[in-house]
Amino acid sequence: MFLDRSHAGKLLAEELKLLQGPDTIVVAIPRGGLPVGAEIATALKAPLEIILSKKIGHPANKEYAIGAVSLSGLVLELQAAEIPKSYIEEETKRIRKVLQDRQEMYYHNQTPKPLTNKTVIVADDGIATGNTMLSTLELISRESPKKVVLAIPVAPESAIKKLKKSPYIHQIVCLKIPGLFNAVGAYYHHFDQVSDRQAIEILEAHRNR
């Protein structure tokens, strides 16, 4: 069990010490991944950025991801071929508006650091199925990083197997791979939702160090 996300991040940082260097960037998945990523970035003396992407849910089940959208990219799973193009276009437009608002909220007038030729550590607070993460990692790969390392406190074995097959990940660091997986929050003593305000405070505090 992890005490909270910060505790999980500190434990992950111990496993990632050898990746410390001038070309390393930590990219957190907002919002829950920010406390995790902040601890890793602090320990490795690395910049902390976020990846602004959001899944496209299936029209019959919004929780089931058929792809992911970023401000500049779109990744679709094979099953999306069965979905009307009009639905995907409308969802992409709607999601990009949400992401644009979030980028302005998180970055103000600052520009995210480029990931080209960098060692990118992608941090989140846990993974359930891995589908959305796969799409997110494909979006990251389009920026041509040198190496992509996925750092997560907990994920089921099925998700890890799926992620290991991805051509977009060079290394996975996962602290707990339970045989019988419950929800991600079941492996934390404290797993309160991270608000936008808290996420922004974490980013700004790290930038001011």
Q: Is the pLDDT of residue 202 over 90?
A: yes
Structure tokens at 14: 């111990």
Q: What is the pLDDT of residue 19?
A: 97
Statement to judge: residues 99 and 177 lie in one domain: no
Q: What is the pLDDT of residue 66?
A: 87
Q: What is the pLDDT of residue 38?
A: 97
Statement to judge: residues 36 and 68 lie in one domain: no
Q: Is the peptide bond before 197 cis (omega within 30 degrees of 0)?
A: no
Instruction: For residues 134 and 172, give the distance between their C-alpha atoms in angstroms, rounded to a whole number.
Output: 12
Which tens digit of pLDDT belongs to each residue from 76-106? 877 788 899 999 999 999 999 999 998 889 9
Statement to judge: residues 82 and 43 lie in one domain: no
Statement to judge: residues 30 and 66 lie in one domain: no
Q: What is the pLDDT of residue 179?
A: 86
Which tens digit of pLDDT belongs to each residue from 155-192? 999 999 999 999 999 999 999 999 899 899 999 999 99
Q: What is the pLDDT of residue 199?
A: 93
Q: Is the pLDDT of residue 209 over 80?
A: no
Q: What is the pLDDT of residue 185?
A: 96
**110 CB-near residues (< 8 Å, 6+ apart):** 207
Statement to judge: residues 43 and 100 lie in one domain: no
CATH of residue 122's domain is 3.40.50.2020
CA dihedral 110, 18, 29, 141 (to 10 degrees): 80
CATH of residue 72's domain is 3.30.1310.20
Domains of the chain: total: 2
Q: What is the pLDDT of residue 145?
A: 97
* Banded model confidence at residue 37, pLDDT cuts 50, 70, 90: very high
Classify residue 93 as exposed, middle or buried by CB count within 10 Å of its CB (0-12, 13-18, 19+): exposed
Domain region containing 93: 55-106
Statement to judge: residues 9 and 100 lie in one domain: no
Query: How far out from the chain centre does Cα 62 lie?
Result: 19
Q: Is the pLDDT of residue 151 over 80?
A: yes
Q: What is the pLDDT of residue 78?
A: 76
Statement to judge: residues 181 and 118 lie in one domain: yes
Statement to judge: residues 79 and 22 lie in one domain: no
Domain end point (choices 43, 73, 106): 106
Statement to judge: residues 115 and 196 lie in one domain: yes
